[in-house]
Amino acid sequence: MGTLYTEDKQHGLRRLPAVSRILQDERVQEAITEHGRELVVDCVRETLDRLRARLKEGETVPTDLSSVVQEALQAVERWRTPTLRRVINATGVVLHTGLGRAVLAEAARRAVAEVAQGHSILEIDRDTGERGDRIEHVRELLRRLTGAEDATVVNNNAGAVLLAVTVLAQGKEVIISRGQLVEIGGAFRMPDIIAQSGARLVEVGTTNRTRLSDYERAITPDTALLIRCHPSNFRIVGFSEEVPAADLASLAHRYNLPVLDDVGSGCLVDTGRFGLEHEPTLQESVQAGCDVVTCSGDKLLGGPQAGIILGRKEIVQRIRRHPLHRALRVDKLTLAALEATLRLYLNPEEAVQEIPVLRTLATPADDIKRRARRLRQRLQAILPGAGITVRLREGESAVGGGSLPGQQLPTTLVCLRLSDGNAQRLARALRWQEPAVFTRIEQEEVVIDPRTLLEGEMETLVQAVARAVTQCLGGEANHA
């Protein structure tokens, strides 16, 4: 076909302003002062390249100086604006992995800010002035809260399991029930982790039932470890049976073998008090005699992303000396947040008050209903009278984050319906507000669950909904 342009295209290409001309523009000069020459010049060049390509495709694009300058400056702005930003979680999923799981307690946020602002006593022994160990900031706390002999922390729970299995069973066999060979979202698959650690997987039992005798029959001189894994994100109901941790630990100890229990969520308080089923706690797993217990820091524990490892002193010491422990090291900001979160648990009532995950789970249905009514009232006052309806409906919130699957908390939902029934469009418009709002779609409605709104977010949400609805209806909202 060759590169024969129509006259129009040629004309458009010729009309694009030259780089030198654009750089003389006053607004561009200002941008150079503010953002530096290199970024601005690159953005101008890239903008021209983009426009040229579109002209060659036969598109009609504005080629006047002012339009080109504006587009280039928008590109500069995009580079300078962080994309990882705060959003409003109106999904009702308390631990939403896509939205960053646990919101940190105020004490944890303050600890992070303080450690970020200056130098910190991360790895120095105050007494001797010698190099110390960063884990010391949380080790005693974890021991006290869980009853474990010893503890350490790594980057996340996937890392904790990989590290523990590597240390305890590399080159040997590990036994696990077929009912616990789980996949947790984001590519954590127990069989893959075991393979990666260099251990050989020995599956026992069936998907729905595994008995103690199944484990016992599989033990050989090559066995190094028995693994339990909490099936965090699914449930097997009906004709099912699994071996309690204490029984598995007794069996393992008779054969001089350790048990690793991956409890997943890292719960330290009884979830029964929130009207939920009882989630196994870290204390219970330690008490049951499991030799190594691992969990995440940012699920029900309500802290930062981290992998907590509890266990017998001798095993935790070996874990701490392994090169992978160094490779998976937690940073000071994580440690600061984790330490502050754990200190709240020293008074469990304070923990439930102060840790957002627990407070959100503990919010009574009546309080949520009041919030939902207030939200509906504010929305009805601000939204246009036509094109959108707002109604309340009884519904359910979810714990999320691979915790307490299938367990739901009663809530009152605020449902928005556009008269054209296009819920996807409204949900998308909400995601592009500043701050972005994330909702659920159910029965062609955009559904807002007030349970996961944080303090002070209600009015921001109302304004964001008003803007999004206005955009969808192509009209004006009454910003009273």
Would you tell me which residues interact with ligand PLP (CB under 6 A)? 156-158, 184, 188, 229-230, 232, 262, 264-265, 296, 307, 402
Of 153, 157, 165, give the one whose Cα is nearest residue 185: 157
Cβ 98 to ligand PLP, closest distance in Å? 13
Cβ 248 to ligand PLP, closest distance in Å? 16
Cβ 298 to ligand PLP, closest distance in Å? 7
Cβ 186 to ligand PLP, closest distance in Å? 7
Cβ 182 to ligand PLP, closest distance in Å? 6
Q: Which is nearer to ligand PLP, 324 or 458 (CB)?
A: 324
Q: Which is nearer to ligand PLP, 185 or 475 (CB)?
A: 185
HSE-CB for 200 with a 13 A CA cutoff: 10
Whose CB is nearest to ligand PLP? 264
Of 263, 307, 282, 273, give the one whose Cα is nearest residue 409: 273
Cβ 212 to ligand PLP, closest distance in Å? 21
Q: Which is nearer to ligand PLP, 160 or 415 (CB)?
A: 160
Q: Which is nearer to ligand PLP, 150 or 279 (CB)?
A: 279
Q: Which is nearer to ligand PLP, 229 or 469 (CB)?
A: 229
**Distances in whole angstroms, Cα of residue 367 to Cα of each of 255, 419, 432:** 53, 30, 29
101: Cβ–Cβ under 8 A, 6 or more apart, which residues?
Answer: 95, 298, 299, 305, 401
Q: Which is nearer to ligand PLP, 265 or 470 (CB)?
A: 265
Q: Which is nearer to ligand PLP, 188 or 215 (CB)?
A: 188
Cβ 309 to ligand PLP, closest distance in Å? 12
| Distance from C-alpha of 72 to C-alpha of 45, rounded to nearest angstrom | 8
Q: Which is nearer to ligand PLP, 303 or 395 (CB)?
A: 303
Cβ 404 to ligand PLP, closest distance in Å? 11
